[in-house]
Amino acid sequence: MAKNQKRQSIPSNNPPLRPMGRGPRGAMLSREKPKDILGTLKRILSYMGKNKYIFFMLLAVMLTITILNLAAPSLQQKAIDTIGFNGVDYKNLIKYLIILGVVYIFSSGITYFQGWFSAKLSQTTVKIMRNDLFRKIVTLPIKYIDTHNHGDLMSRMTNDVENISNCISQSIGSLFSGVLTIIGSLAIMIYYSPILTLISISTIILTLLFTSVMTKFMRKYFTRQQILLGDLNGHIEEMVVGYKTVVSYSKEKDAIEKFNEMSDNLKKTGVKAQICGGSMGPLMNIVSNVGFVLIAGFGGYFALKGLISIGTIQAFILYSKQFSRPINEIANQYAQIQTAVAGGERIFAVMDEESERDDNSNDSEFVTDEVSGNISFKNINFSYVPDKPVLKGFNLDIKSGQKIAIVGATGSGKTTVVNLLTRFYDIDSGEIEIDGVNIKDIPKGKLRETIGIVLQDTVLFSDTIRTNIAYAKPQAELSEIESAAKTANADRFISRLPEGYDTILSESGSNLSQGQRQLLAIARAVLADPKILILDEATSSVDTRTEMNIQSAMVALMKNRTSLIIAHRLSTIIDADKIVVIDDGRVVEQGNHEELLDKKGCYYNLYQNQFAGIAT
């Protein structure tokens, strides 16, 4: 399959066997507004609740800071009221100023712990969330990975989780403190002057009106911003992975233009989102200043009438500020909160996907070491997309130790056979049996331990050669690893490397040739020692000389194993025990090379076309 295919709404007939972490494939994720903001917030809070000690320590610190902040205006009022027309009560004035100074110093000091607990809470919370998300991703069905944008999935793991982290560290403490401040300020304001309290509260109606209107207007932009960011990440990943293809076809300009277009769309949406989010603060400040003017005016009038003192006006103004400040802070942080909620909903959308199921696998006594390798496909019907069947009444019997080659035109269903045998996808109807046991009755873990796969696109990890070979058997001794490498004809080039088996491979093993990567994949399969071996066009990407070396390694690998070879080059499967020709989802011919040539059917035509091209 091509590595860099266009995105599509449905998987192709022969999707990749395993998620390769390559360019995005498949349908884009749904582009919808958040459907359940309160539900998402509750789930985020539930993750915070997993760090109860830190969470409650943060709340305790915020409670202390709030109480100190509420006490300060009252102390100021008492200090001011010691100054009267009959003189100054210096004793009480000094006392209140000292207490006020202690309150401010202690409040400033404890604010340090607020920042520490906020950072600790945010990082520990998102660590758990990130771990849960990754654990979910690696248990998703292959179908989900095949049909969803890989860049967007990574964006949820990185950008969306980071947005939640920022929101927790910067907003949670403020929200809790804000609620306490509103309640405390309101109670003290009512105590000082119920009339001025009503005047102050009247401005809140205007605040709520602005907030309600802006909230509805802003939400769509922040959700759209996250979706576009995921799209951009997917495009960048696709271009980096497929860089050689881009350059070889001189498509650099097109790649830049598409990137610029996507980046421009993200910029426009981001500007709108930030403008909307940034406008909340100034609007709330205007409302707050209107309230300040009203309180100062009416307070002055009441002071002239002798209803309240000058100190009370000062305290009331400060309390009204404290009363409106949390609302302004929430308005200023709303953009961040909205982004975090949108990211949280995207994260939980993945978490809520159904994991790969293994409901019918109840034969826990299935012993992989005792598998002989007899395989039977009985009247298999399967479709990736409803009403578009790929396999139609597919039947095939494979005996233990046989070397079976599966050939056919592109899209005929060759790789689908492998997908179903490994239960990457489950059949619509029919049965697949190994040694007479329905594979649905075999736990998927044990089933896949029985099967080894060598793919056309070799998957190697950024680790040592030793670790890559021992991927399926991490406890293997170095002697076992070296023996597997020798069997795979890989030991020769490994021994020439400066660090030998401890050589660190770059991403996807790009510091090795394609043939060397294939030999390592074969060595990995040799060490795993599977009872059933699948070779999915394992030599189609290498030159003829390298192919001969790989073929020699594969002969050693296939010895005493049931082997299925998905073949493109027919020259590589001439010595197969049985060649199976698939056309339009059915077995149309089967036999050895000579028998099929004598029939002069589909295989004969494929063979003649391929070798006619060589002869030409």
Other residues' Cβ atoms within 10 Å of the Cβ of residue 190: 13
- Token pair for 575: 């010595």
Angle, CA of 370, 372 and 373, to the nearest 5°: 130
In order of their start, the domains of the chain are 39-351 (1.20.1560.10), 401-422+448-615 (3.40.50.300)
pLDDT in tens, 557-608: 787 889 888 877 777 788 888 999 998 888 898 898 888 888 888 888 888 8
Contacts of 564 (CB under 8 A, 6+ apart): 398, 404, 405, 406, 417, 418, 421, 532, 533, 534, 535
Place of tokens 């599509």: 8
Enumerate the β-bridge partners of residue 564.
404, 534
**pLDDT recorded at residue 84:** 65
| Selected residue with higher pLDDT from 551 and 413 | 413
Does residue 414 have a pLDDT over 70? Answer: yes
Percent of the chain scoring above 90 in pLDDT: 8
Average pLDDT over residues 148-166: 85
Q: How confident is the model at residue 538 (pLDDT cuts 50, 70, 90)?
A: low
| Selected residue with higher pLDDT from 423 and 88 | 423
The rounded mean pLDDT for the chain is 79
| Selected residue with higher pLDDT from 277 and 164 | 164
Other residues' Cβ atoms within 10 Å of the Cβ of residue 545: 9
- Token pair for 605: 């035509």
Distance separating alpha carbons of residues 161 and 347, to the nearest angstrom: 8
- What is residue 406's three-state secondary structure? strand
Enumerate the β-bridge partners of residue 88.
83
pLDDT in tens, 469-521: 998 888 889 999 999 888 888 888 898 888 899 988 887 777 788 888 888 88
**pLDDT recorded at residue 331:** 65
DSSP codes of every residue in 318-374:
HHHHHHHHHHHHHHHHHHHHHHHHHHHHHHHHHHTSPPPP-TT---TT--GGG----
Average pLDDT over residues 86-106: 83
| Buried-exposed string 401-418: b where 16+ CB fall within 10 A, e elsewhere | bbbbbbbbeeebbbbbbb
pLDDT in tens, 359-388: 655 555 666 667 888 999 999 999 988 888
pTM of the predicted model, to two decimals? Answer: 0.65
CB 235 within 8 A of CB 258: yes
Q: Which long-range contacts (CB under 8 A, 24 or more apart) does 188-191 make?
A: 188/70, 188/73, 188/74, 188/319, 189/316, 189/319, 189/320, 189/323
Percent of the chain scoring above 70 in pLDDT: 85
Distance separating alpha carbons of residues 92 and 215, to the nearest angstrom: 49
Q: How confident is the model at residue 541 (pLDDT cuts 50, 70, 90)?
A: low
CB 469 within 8 A of CB 493: no
**pLDDT recorded at residue 272:** 82
- What is residue 398's three-state secondary structure? strand
CB 323 within 8 A of CB 183: no
Does residue 136 have a pLDDT over 80? Answer: yes
